[in-house]
Amino acid sequence: MSDASIDVLGIGNAIVDVLAHSDDAFLTTNGIEKGSMSLIDTARADELYSLMAPAIEISGGSAANTMVGVAGLGGAAAYIGKVRDDQLGAVFAHDIGAAGVSFDTAKAVEGEPTARCLIMVTPDAQRSMNTFLGASATLSPEDVDPGHIASAAVTYLEGYLFDPAPAKEAFYKAADAAHAAGRRVALTLSDSFCVDRYREEFLHLVETQVDVLFANEDELKALYQTDSFDDGLQALRNHCPVAGLTRSEHGSVVLWGDEVHVISAAPVDKVVDTTGAGDLYAAGFLFGLAHGRDAKTCGHLGSLAAAEIISHFGARPEADLKALASEAGLLAG
Amino acid sequence: MSDASIDVLGIGNAIVDVLAHSDDAFLTTNGIEKGSMSLIDTARADELYSLMAPAIEISGGSAANTMVGVAGLGGAAAYIGKVRDDQLGAVFAHDIGAAGVSFDTAKAVEGEPTARCLIMVTPDAQRSMNTFLGASATLSPEDVDPGHIASAAVTYLEGYLFDPAPAKEAFYKAADAAHAAGRRVALTLSDSFCVDRYREEFLHLVETQVDVLFANEDELKALYQTDSFDDGLQALRNHCPVAGLTRSEHGSVVLWGDEVHVISAAPVDKVVDTTGAGDLYAAGFLFGLAHGRDAKTCGHLGSLAAAEIISHFGARPEADLKALASEAGLLAG
């Protein structure tokens, strides 16, 4: 893998987050499922936005957040995703570029505006996401250059890419290109409802194409239609060589060939907003993987990056992840 | 004043803030004066933005921030300012409306995009502002309805309005309309460089049209071209019936007819970002004034609101100002 010029290349829905505080009653009144991601159309986006509290805009997108985390740890990261040539598209492109991630996917010049995710953060720090896919849904196989993919040690794909049909095609093209070049393919299941929508395809993918899987407890259970985390874990061991399975405050479990590691969550003074916790866990883990670190270190790098992101509003790191990881002794050796 | 349906109506440049952390070297390298506001053109805005760290977008604008503060304290607030019919204009309109401020100025349908202020926040929590006025510069007298102004107990004007010529005309029209209706006119000097640009006119305004003046120490000194805060204070006493003069961590001085009150700053655990400190001081002060409170209470309401805003990133309140003021015993009576 030493000949790869990119450590991790992420592909995902390119989204600007619109974050506001809300109470639980707001979720109930507006039919929003707490903690999940719902896809919404233009009319619903306009309606929800008109009802939302004053908000702030921060670039988001699951795989994009992960790539910013990889770059923040000192890794070479690249991103493929679609925005429009509008103001929020410029914001997205600026932010990911300024974070040190290589991003040059052509912007859409017509059609829907840049994707937005309306996120309500409740007092318990949980986030409920309502995504208007907009231009991100027009990502297509043409945006994926096999030579680009071949230059990355790991290609990281969002389950969310299955929602827009052309993006799903791009997903498969990228996975094939990665394997053709002898590289690794990583997948995050993204959301338990997303797993429900595409279970059979995800199962097939995990059994045949995925070298590194990320899932939280709900997603793993949804994949194997079980109520038991351990049953899901045992099923997965037969299917996928490497996995980072996250369990919120209970830490994570890392599968690594025959090894199984149970990793503690990193301490957090106060959980402010869980948006991006899974994305940043993947960032730490993938950075470690691309740099040849062992299973345990990869898990702890994931925990450290996740702890940073949940200690503030938004899913892009505010602290210097590289310095934090160095202080924690996770970059030595 | 009891027949006024609006407590405070603010008029200002309608701006979305683009906030990022920076170090002092970034300011030096890019010729940015720390702590001040510079006007920039499109080319400079594009250049600075391309160099800036990943940012977040939060609605701003000096008088707009103040009106959000007035509404947050439970006051009836309205705002006049110009955005374009673009994505950032929609963000501005959403945020000020969701904060409870009445805002219905017609959006520009052509010309420059919605105004942006690129703000670098250095580790000492100081903010350096670079404003691209864009559509906000097209605010004109047509946007000011004398009947609307007459319904407000106080009309609050930014000194920054003097920068775009049509906005300055709107400024004078509003001040005349307020006085014709027997209402009060309040002015903030905005920035010491702004005072330097328009000193003679500001002096004339203060002597003839301003009932309530807001200025920080630098602005007061610039107005009277003195190195002594006290000299400025004594000069102002002959000119303006009510004033709130802010001195950062040294608190404020309130002039109120013959009275002079020296008010302490409210305590802050950690100053994170001073953006909006003056705006929110004015919010607390004006809320008190419109509600018939005494000089000392107005000053303390200003201190309280300013302390909230400098404890976090951005110039829009995150905490419940009304609850904070109530806990501090500033709403009783």
State the pLDDT at residue A333: 58
Tens digit of pLDDT for each residue in A162-199?
999 999 999 999 999 999 999 999 999 999 999 999 99
List Cα–Cα distances, A19 to A88, A119, B274, in angstroms: 14, 5, 22
Residue B266 domain-assigned (yes or no) = yes
Nearest to B52 among A56, A57, A98 (CB): A98
State the pLDDT at residue B3: 82
State the average pLDDT over residues B304-316: 96
The string over A98-135, giving b where at least 16 C-beta atoms fall within 10 Å of a residue's C-beta and e elsewhere, is bbbbbbebebbeeebbbbbbbbbbbeebbbbbbbbbbb
pTM of the model: 0.95
**Residues near B331 by beta carbon (within 8 Å), at least 6 away in sequence:** B74, B322, B325
Nearest chain A CA: its distance from B326 CA (Å): 21
Tens digit of pLDDT for each residue in A110-169?
999 999 999 999 999 999 999 999 999 999 999 999 999 999 999 999 999 999 999 999
Q: Position B266: which residue type?
A: A
Q: Write the burial class of residue A239 (CB in 10 Å: 0-12 exposed, 13-18 middle, 19+ buried).
A: middle
Pairing of strands B15-21, A77-80: unpaired
Residue A294 domain-assigned (yes or no) = yes
Number of domains within chain A = 1
Residue B100 domain-assigned (yes or no) = yes
Tell me the backbone φ, ψ of residue B29, rounded to 5 degrees: -60, -35
Residue A214 domain-assigned (yes or no) = yes
ipTM over 0.95: no
**Residues near A167 by beta carbon (within 8 Å), at least 6 away in sequence:** A13, A136, A137, A139, A140, A161
- Which chain B residues are within 8 Å of A59, Cβ to Cβ? 54
Nearest chain A CA: its distance from B300 CA (Å): 26
* 3-class DSSP state of B158: strand
Pairing of strands B152-158, B127-132: unpaired
- How many CA atoms, within 13 angstroms, populate the side-chain half-sphere of residue A162? 18
Residues of B with CB under 8 A from a CB of A: 20, 49-50, 52-59, 68, 86-88, 91, 94-96, 98-99, 113-114, 314, 316
State the pLDDT at residue A3: 82
For the cut 60, the answer to whether the pLDDT of residue B2 exceeds it is no
Q: Position B127: which residue type?
A: R
Can you say whether the dihedral through the CA atoms of B299, B301, B304, B305 is positive or negative? Answer: negative
Instruction: Determine the Cα–Cα distance for residues B259 and B296; give it in Å rounded to an integer.
Output: 10
Nearest to B94 among A49, A86, A91 (CB): A49
H or E element that contains B49: helix B42-51
State the average pLDDT over residues A81-100: 98
Residue A190 domain-assigned (yes or no) = yes
**Residues near B92 by beta carbon (within 8 Å), at least 6 away in sequence:** B14, B15, B16, B59, B61, B64, B83, B114
For the cut 70, the answer to whether the pLDDT of residue A232 exceeds it is yes
C-alpha triplet A18, A23, A27: angle, nearest 5°: 75
Asked whether the beta carbons of A256 and A275 are under 8 A apart, the reply is no
Nearest chain A CA: its distance from B58 CA (Å): 5
Is the Cβ pair A95, B57 closer than 8 Å? Answer: no
H or E element that contains B90: helix B87-98
State the pLDDT at residue B333: 58
Q: Tell me what percent of the residues of chain A surpass a pLDDT of 90.
A: 98
Residue A315 domain-assigned (yes or no) = yes
H helices present in chain A, as ranges: 24-29, 42-51, 62-72, 87-98, 146-150, 165-180, 192-197, 199-208, 217-224, 229-237, 277-290, 295-310, 321-327
Is the Cβ pair B54, A98 closer than 8 Å? Answer: yes
Segments forming the whole domain that contains residue A318? 6-14+62-109+135-327
Is the Cβ pair B95, A54 closer than 8 Å? Answer: yes
Residue A51 domain-assigned (yes or no) = no
Tens digit of pLDDT for each residue in B54-71?
999 999 999 999 999 999
Tens digit of pLDDT for each residue in A265-286?
999 999 999 999 999 999 999 9
Instruction: For residue B53, give the DSSP letter.
Output: P
Residue A171 domain-assigned (yes or no) = yes
State the average pLDDT over residues A241-258: 96
For the cut 80, the answer to whether the pLDDT of residue B265 exceeds it is yes
Residues of A with CB under 8 A from a CB of B: 20, 49-50, 52-59, 68, 86-88, 91, 94-96, 98-99, 113-114, 314, 316
**Residues near B33 by beta carbon (within 8 Å), at least 6 away in sequence:** B27, B128, B193
Q: How many CB atoms lie within 10 A of CB B204?
A: 12
For the cut 70, the answer to whether the pLDDT of residue A1 exceeds it is no
- Which chain A residues are within 8 Å of B20, Cβ to Cβ? 98
State the pLDDT at residue B1: 45
Q: Tell me what percent of the residues of chain B surpass a pLDDT of 90.
A: 98
The CATH number of the domain holding residue A281 is 3.40.1190.20
Is the Cβ pair A95, B316 closer than 8 Å? Answer: no
Asked whether the beta carbons of B113 and B134 are under 8 A apart, the reply is yes
Is the Cβ pair B99, A54 closer than 8 Å? Answer: yes
